[in-house]
Chains A and B, each alone.
Chain A
Amino acid sequence: MTEPLLRIENLHKTFGKLEVLKGIDMTMERGDVTSIIGSSGSGKTTLLRCINLLEDYQDGVVAIDGDQIGYRTQNGRRVRRPERQIAAQRAMTGMAFQHFNLFPHLTASRNIMLGLVKVRKMPAAEAKEIAAHWLTRVGLGDRGDAYPGQLSGGQQQRVAIARAVAMAPKLMLFDEVTSALDPELVNEVLNVITDLARDGMTMLLVTHEMKFAHDVSSKVVFMHQGRIAEAGPPAEVLRNPKSARLAEFLKGAKF
């Protein structure tokens, strides 16, 4: 049996006494587009942040391409990997954030170049070309010299996505990337993601855009109170919810 791209087993995460992830199991194959839906506090974002170790997890396994993220097992004990290894593992995934989190002191182009030069050790000229390529890809080929503060929210989010995908990650994580945007700017960002999905990029998205989840995903996961309550193909999960909770959650959603 070949190892899936992403394998999560029995993942537990607590904040102090509060258990936010209560045993998550899921896998993703290469090219999968999985959307996580659920009400706030259900653990969606935390799950995403455990995958690139922006949050520690207390128990279970997160593995990308067979590599356990953040920890290894030594004499039956869980040991946190050294900082350098963790940084290298983080570079296997790319993340786009709700609030973009662009580096405000760098131009759009330099935002993309930073990781290429410092992490991938690429010469600046090559990194610049890649930055230009991805900026064009997200429709901002002419804004490479603009600073984040000079761009609209939608443009900033597109640069942030370009910054993440330019690193050629194995898996892209999208954390409610349209939630902080004005309604008229949402589509430009969703179009970029749809375009990447068509390209075969493996993506895990936390989203409140039900129509988008329905149209783009190969799988939809519904989380409730720190557990996966339902999962399956979008048509099945979104159109024929099995549980009353999901039906309630989907009430009024259009797709």
Chain B
Amino acid sequence: MYISIPLSYIWRNLIARKLTTLLTAGGMALVVFVFATVLMLEEGLRKTLVETGSPDNVIITRRSAGTEVQSVVDRDQAAIVENQPEVAYSTNGLRLASKETIVLISLAKRSSDKASNVLIRGVGQKGIELRPQVEIVEGRMFRPGSTEIIAGKSVAERYYGAGIGETLRFGQREWTVVGIMDAGKTGFDSEIWGDVDQLMQTFRRPVYSSVILKLNDPAAFSALKTRIETDPRLTLEVKLESVFYAEQSQLLANFIRYLGMMLSIIFSIGAIIGAMITMYASVANRATEIGTMRALGFRRNNILSAFLLEALMLGAAGGVVGLVLASFMQFFTISTMNWQSFSELAFSFTLNIAIITKSLAFALIMGGVGGFLPAARAAGLNIVDSLRAV
């Protein structure tokens, strides 16, 4: 697009009208802030849950259970699954599989004293080896056969009794936190892990919730899936762990997205109208300048481009400010009820290139839509009439 009218004329006009420029761009910045924050929230949730699953891990649950909380895998079925030929071996010759059970307990939050559900996961010996993203950052791993537990970093920070050396009482027993695990901001940060057999005994559970196993070859997944899902002894469902957790994030992520997008759209209408009013005022105030430029030989499309560019600059300024504000949200971690596991899940706002691009594009669209009609009016002005508007 050949503009001819110097950029300095365009941006200096924005600077000359400091207050209106500031207010209009500020309005757009707020909308971009909301827009980017929603996307960051959704991305944070998605990242937390999707990265919880490893791509070469397989999770086996009861058919149609959907979540581990609703799933039941009895001991015989678990044993059959564990011994499938596709399951990888660890260096010490044991199968890389973990039979796990899930229990929800209610703990009081350090911040508000209010109780919230926390997920306790009973894991097998290979449970931690199957999750390379999980690292014990303080203390040590629990001893099998004991009432020791390790708590995710987020749980340890947010709940009474979940810090290292502290004790929690559930299932009529005292459990000592001997280690803190950092799961790299994945869902495991919001869990407490203990010995699966101890937990099953405590809660008088005869069955597991799921079986996690590592494939010796990721390509073997479909063979394993077909065999297990068609085995008449088993009423189980086989999923890649990454897919399983991605599905878990969907309901909440969709809710956040739709709510956020609705809010953003409604707010953006306000911001677009704001930009439109500003630009119309700008056109009205500069009618003589427009007439003069046309008289000097600038064409209608030069004027259209210049005013459109001015509105786009307003949008871009709003976009950048909104994004800068939104980027501070990365320092916050929020927790919410994950409806699929009925437990609290902590996650942070996550900013990435895609969100930056989308937010800037959104800001430019707001500027462009808001600026188009005023720019068209500027371009459509009659030269003689606008020169008279002194």
- Genuine A/B complex: no
